[in-house]
Amino acid sequence: MRENVIENHLVQRAKQLGGEVRKVRWIGRRGAPDRLVMLPGRMLWVELKAPGEKVKPHQAREHERMRAMGQTVAVVDSLDEVEAMLA
């Protein structure tokens, strides 16, 4: 399964739950999560990967910086993980 299939599923499911999804890109910095998911009452940063693929070291460092600031950052590589994250 390709990463874009998981990404499209995330966008569709978030919209079904009354949410909004934005593509993310840092200017002048690497490692931004792929998507910002805004659901009623909560916000999630999501890094999408193809099944079995791992985050790169620069992405892991950025995710840890964000978590240290109280942000929720999830790495998902399957449709089941999308469903579990949005539950």
Mean pLDDT for the stretch of residues 6-15: 98
Number of neighbouring beta carbons within 10 Å of residue 41: 5
Confidence of residue 21 (pLDDT cuts 50, 70, 90): very high
Mean pLDDT for the stretch of residues 7-27: 96
Are 46 and 55 in contact by the 8 Å Cβ rule? The answer is no
Query: According to the model, what pLDDT value does residue 31 have?
Result: 93
State the residue range of the domain holding 64. Answer: 3-86
Does the CA dihedral 14-15-17-22 come out positive or negative? positive
Query: According to the model, what pLDDT value does residue 46 have?
Result: 98
The total of structural domains in the chain comes to 1
Mean pLDDT for the stretch of residues 32-58: 97
CATH assignment of the domain containing 50: 3.40.1350.10
Query: According to the model, what pLDDT value does residue 71 have?
Result: 98
